[in-house]
């Protein structure tokens, strides 16, 4: 992994994501190197090879200082940490940019949404408790560690993420689980098992999004599929490209929400 320290020009960015006003990305690139991640488009903007996603991370070392200045004149709105990187990837343990950014946001009490795959998020529960409006989410794509290792090779284990969610729930901080992307190899009964476990933990809500093919992520997805001995590659792509398949999955998820009496936000 190549780590490069840089000075960013700006850190509080206007967001086009529904329900979010701003995004903050303390890092550019992500050490998790998930094969399906379409945030690799940020590398294209830097004139970097998108296939290097997961191999290089840029650390915006001046992010907290920039935010102190930029947030003074910003109209209050929802901030997402983060939209194109994981704010708690392993280098956060050293740089603590996310924690220092949260301390700045806390002073202004901007409503904040966090999304991560890392159990390091529990380090900042003490800060989360001081927010008037914050929601902390953990991405859990599957309960199958073998599938996780194929598509999320460097991300923390599923069990460590579930444990992190348990700690966040126990802390009383508003929370959610993000099942995304919904991989077309995962059957509805597997999704049901995952959601049942999330319900037992006591998560406030579940969000689900489908697999999106963008920014040449089909290349790394194909490489991952080629390493698997049991995934039918042709069937994987047939379902991925089929609007009928996703419509059917949406209907199944709506039924599942009613069956399990849990709030599922389907965002596709």
CA distances from 167 to 41, 145, 170, 192 (A): 33, 21, 5, 22
What is the CB-side half-sphere exposure of residue 136 using CA atoms within 13 A? 30
- Picking from 123, 42, 126, the residue whose alpha carbon sits closest to that of residue 82 is 42
pLDDT at 42: 83
Residue at token pair 């969610």: 165
* 3-class DSSP state of 242: coil
- Picking from 153, 149, 144, the residue whose alpha carbon sits closest to that of residue 179 is 144
Quick one: how far is CA 183 from the chain centroid?
15
d(CA 41, CA 54): 13
d(CA 16, CA 103): 24
pLDDT at 218: 92
- The string of pLDDT tens digits covering residues 56-92 is 999 999 999 999 999 999 999 999 998 999 999 999 9
Residue at token pair 């700006």: 10
Residue 258: Cβ within 10 Å count: 10
Angle made by CA atoms 230, 192, 145, in degrees to the nearest 5: 40
d(CA 71, CA 44): 28
Domain count, the chain: 1
Sorted by sequence, the CB contacts under 8 Å of residue 117 that are 6+ apart come out as 32, 86, 88, 138, 139, 152, 155, 156, 161
pLDDT at 100: 98
Determine contact, residues 32/155, Cβ cutoff 8 Å: yes
Instruction: Name the residue range of residue 144's domain.
Output: 2-266
CATH number for 261:
3.20.20.70
Angle made by CA atoms 45, 47, 52, in degrees to the nearest 5: 100
Residue 210: Cβ within 10 Å count: 17
Which mean pLDDT values do the consecutive 10-residue runs of the chain (268 residues) have?
95 92 96 92 78 89 98 96 95 98 98 98 98 98 94 96 98 98 94 96 96 89 88 95 96 96 93
pLDDT at 53: 84
CA dihedral 13, 168, 194, 234 (to 10 degrees): 30
């Amino acid at each position: 992994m190549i780590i490069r320290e840089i000075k960013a020009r700006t850190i509080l960015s206007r967001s086009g994501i529904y329900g979010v006003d701003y995004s903050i990305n303390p890092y550019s690139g992500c050490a998790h190197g998930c094969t399906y991640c379409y945030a690799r488009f940020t590398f294209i903007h830097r004139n970097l090879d998108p296939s290097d996603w997961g191999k290089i991370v840029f650390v915006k070392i001046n992010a907290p200082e920039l935010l102190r200045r930029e947030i003074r004149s910003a109209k209050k709105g929802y901030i997402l940490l983060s939209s194109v990187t994981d704010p708690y990837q392993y280098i956060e343990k050293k740089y603590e940019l996310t924690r220092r950014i949260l301390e700045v946001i806390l002073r202004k009490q901007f409503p904040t949404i966090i999304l991560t795959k890392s159990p390091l998020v529990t380090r900042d529960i003490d800060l989360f408790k001081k927010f008037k409006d914050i929601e902390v989410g953990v991405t859990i794509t599957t309960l199958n560690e073998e599938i996780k290792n194929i598509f999320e090779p460097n991300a923390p284990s599923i069990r460590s993420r579930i444990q992190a969610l348990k700690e966040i729930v126990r802390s009383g901080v508003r929370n959610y689980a993000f099942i995304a992307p919904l991989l077309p190899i995962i059957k509805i009964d597997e999704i049901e098992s995952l959601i049942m476990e999330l319900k037992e933990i006591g998560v406030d809500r579940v969000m689900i999004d489908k697999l999106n093919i963008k920014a040449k992520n089909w290349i790394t997805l194909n490489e991952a599929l080629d390493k698997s001995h049991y995934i039918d590659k042709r069937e994987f792509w047939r379902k991925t490209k089929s609007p009928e398949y996703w419509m059917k999955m949406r209907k199944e998820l709506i039924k599942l929400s009613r069956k399990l009496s849990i709030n599922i936000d389907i965002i596709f």
